[in-house]
Amino acid sequence: MKTGDLIAALAADIRPAGVPLSRKLVLTVLAGAALAMAGFWAELGLRSDIREAMTTWRFNAKLAIVAIAMLLAVVECARLCRPTAKASILPMLVTAILLGIAVLVELVSAPSASWGVRLLGSNAVLCLTAIPLLATAPFIALFYAMRSGAPSAPVATGAMVGFASATLGASLYALHCPDDSPLFVMTWYGIAILLVTAIGALLGWKLLRW
């Protein structure tokens, strides 16, 4: 049998025992998100000025960017479960474009003397620790679900699992974080998300090969 025929057969016949793969992915994402939310409410909670923050473009842009990134990454994870799927950086690319637009607006609208303060913010250390911690449960849940599939690009798939988990964690942390500047989000959220994404890529090579 040719390699192409083998891959096509696998794609057609992949039926995990018990719960179907698509449903399993949804259930594990929901379970991971629920655990992350429980941890968020137990340790962080909403920022005290959440009502006022919701009237500002910086807060809304921050939350929208990480939420869109999360949704795109979860959809990409579902696609990558199939052995015929090719790796794609679309979720990362869309996120970078949206963040770049927000940063450009910030640079135009804010005095240049304030750029450094906005970039450093006041909660960089908490951001770097909270996002990976909030991503832990979704990360484990997604890897569990992805191992039931047959991804043909284990490193890229693992990276996407990490990206999806980290942006989910970032979406929760954004509700607590008082630093709304796109410059802060680009720097500290970006470092935290890239860290979890890199860990996902490394584990993907070990755990998702078939």
pLDDT digits (tens, 9 = 90+) for 22-56: 677 788 888 999 999 999 999 999 999 999 999 99
What pLDDT, on a 0 to 100 scale, did the predictor assign at position 188?
97
What pLDDT, on a 0 to 100 scale, did the predictor assign at position 153?
84
Cβ atoms within 10 Å of 92's Cβ, excluding its own:
20
- Residue partners of 79: CB distance under 8 A and separation at least 6: 85, 88
SS3 183: helix
SS3 148: coil
Q: For the chain, what percent of residues have pLDDT higher than 90?
A: 70
Tens of pLDDT, residues 65-108? 999 999 999 999 888 877 777 888 999 999 999 999 999 999 99
As a whole number of angstroms, the distance between CA 195 and CA 83 comes to: 26
SS3 161: helix
CB-CB contact of 187 with 75 (8 Å)? no
* Token pair for 25: 């992915």
* Token pair for 106: 């910030």
pTM: 0.87
